[in-house]
Amino acid sequence: MGETMAWVAVVATALLAFDAAVGRLARRGDESTPARRMVQGARVFALFLLAATLVTRCRGGETLLDDALCVAGFGVAGALGLLLAQRIGFAVLRGLRAAVDAGNLAAGVAAGAHTAAIGILIANATGGTTWTELGIAAIAFVVGQATLLLLVALFRWLTSYDDPAQILGGNTAAALSHGGLTIAIALVVAHASDGEFQGTWPAVRDFGIALAESLVLWPLRQLLVQCVLLRGRPSLTGGPLDRAIERGDVGAGALEGTTYVALALLLRSLA
């Protein structure tokens, strides 16, 4: 245990230093505003998850040097993957980066949640001791990121309000709802791609089955949150929950977001 904790401390510190160096090169700029701090905090969260994965999955070589080189290689790949996926995600969520830079707190919540979701997927995919395993990890991560963006877009299409417009307009309730959904889907996708690679078809089959389980998030949202918790009438789309979010009810947004995460954790525990 002592040796493992020492590895975690060294690897986490190295990842944070690497991220800071990359940030200076990329001219990330001042992160003193609350919105920027949220994104920074989510990035730290992601790097700590990555550090834990590196320590538990990337050691096993014959010497300490072998372990260090393996951890360093997978660590650099994971940290760079985080930055790249973050840029792509923010580009897809158009206007989010500029809104965060302008101090939009709702945008900071959404961007932070998306960054945390990327970290969950990276921590799940990264790990191994060979170049082949690094390649498999990269493919799993790319598939996971694409699936995350697709499913978030699908779920957000079902709401009666325009999520991006609400978030960019400063609606924190919409950001909390969106953030909880994003993290929940990342948890489901990560679980779907978990396990040892045993061939293309078994991997695709298991991934599809697990993702199909994520579809229960929407009806449970409409029934559990809207009807049971908020005591509204049942509806396939729209309803009192959407109206509460649209008018900026932060409590409803937090309730929806945390329920998504709780349901995702429940699905993971039952699988």
pLDDT 10s digits, 39-95: 999 999 999 999 999 999 888 767 888 888 899 999 999 999 999 999 888 888 888
Q: SS3 helix, strand, coil % of the chain, rounded to 5?
A: 80, 0, 20
Domain that holds residue 138: 2-270
Which positions ≥6 away from 60 have C-beta within 8 Å?
Answer: 67, 129
pLDDT of residue 271: 62
State how far the Cα of 90 lies from the Cα of 105, in Å rounded to an integer: 15
Overall number of domains in the chain: 1
State how far the Cα of 144 lies from the Cα of 117, in Å rounded to an integer: 10
C-alpha neighbours within 13 Å on the C-beta side of residue 210:
27
Give the position of tokens 């990560």. 190
The letter for the amino acid at 14 is A
When pLDDT is cut at 50, 70 and 90, the band that residue 198 belongs to is low
The letter for the amino acid at 237 is T
**CB-based burial of residue 252 (10 Å sphere; 0-12 exposed, 13-18 middle, 19+ buried)?**
buried
- Are 39 and 109 in contact, with CB atoms under 8 Å apart? no
Is the pLDDT at 199 greater than 80? The verdict is: no
State how far the Cα of 45 lies from the Cα of 17, in Å rounded to an integer: 14
When pLDDT is cut at 50, 70 and 90, the band that residue 104 belongs to is very high
Is the pLDDT at 211 greater than 80? The verdict is: no
Is the pLDDT at 212 greater than 60? The verdict is: yes
